[in-house]
Amino acid sequence: MLNTEKRNPRTTHLDQMSTMEMVRVMNEENMVSVLAVDRALPQIAQAVDAVAAAFEKDGKLVYIGAGTSGRLGVLDASECPPTFGVDPRMVQGIIAGGYERLVSAGENAEDSYEAGVRDVEKRLMAGDVLVGISAAGGARYVVGALEKAKELGCVTVAVTSNADSAITQKADIAIVCDTGPEVLTGSTRLKAGNSQKFVLNMLTTCAMAKTGKVYENLMINLKPSNEKLRGRVIRITAAILDCSEKKAEALLEQNGWDIRKSVESVK
């Protein structure tokens, strides 16, 4: 039996716990996700380097998954343009069953190998990176996508919570975060989902940093799309130039609210 399908001995009486006991055990079990990711850091670093290499050659990163896994991929991809100032095509997310499945469940979508092939064959080119995400590791939709991606000359990465699962056998790089049995048996939106979010955060943030989208630990390409981000852009510019926020704001206004241009205008 897959680890993610086993019963967790710590929560066999979940329905009888007090509220405080429930939240405490869930939080303690969440720590397992962090440790599971820690054990997979060598493989995560390998994947980061592959993604950065693709970016350097104008390639792209594409996530694909079903259910929670697919939603997390779409989420990470959607946050890259505002955070790093990149074209939306650079990091993309595909979810089994299409975007409708972001807001409504359709669990059978993960069973179609052919749909996985179809959803990536027009999206990928040689040199791109495809990250297949599946907590259990056996979603045929993701298997089909990984096999097609490899056929197209892409680097393939698997993100799962079960070792020796189908997607680990198909990928060039297998990231296995063994989060063990869930608090709620089989509900991989919990610990397994946590670990997936951590991994995807690392893949994009580190690859963007390695390819010049980050200065020190600052979002140098941040877009001031709302009042909060406008203030952050001012503070970032002021920090880089070691000047007042008032001067930083004036420079930004002169340079179309572009941090890089504002900094270069006085250096």
Active site residue 110: yes
Helices 245-254 and 227-241, axial angle in degrees (round to 10): 110
**3-state SS class at 220:** coil
Pairing of β 61-65 and β 129-133: parallel
Cα 4 to Cα 181, 199, 236: the distances in Å are 5, 18, 42
| Active-site pick, 29, 107, 110, 114 | 110
| Active-site pick, 5, 21, 28, 79 | 79
Q: Which two tokens stand for residue 42?
A: 């060598």
Length of the chain: 267
Which residues does 146 contact at the CB level (< 8 Å), separation at least 6? Answer: 116, 130, 132, 156, 158, 167, 170, 171
Strands (E), 42-189: 61-65, 91-95, 129-133, 155-160, 173-176
Active site residue 56: no
- Where in the sequence numbering do the catalytic residues fall? 79, 110
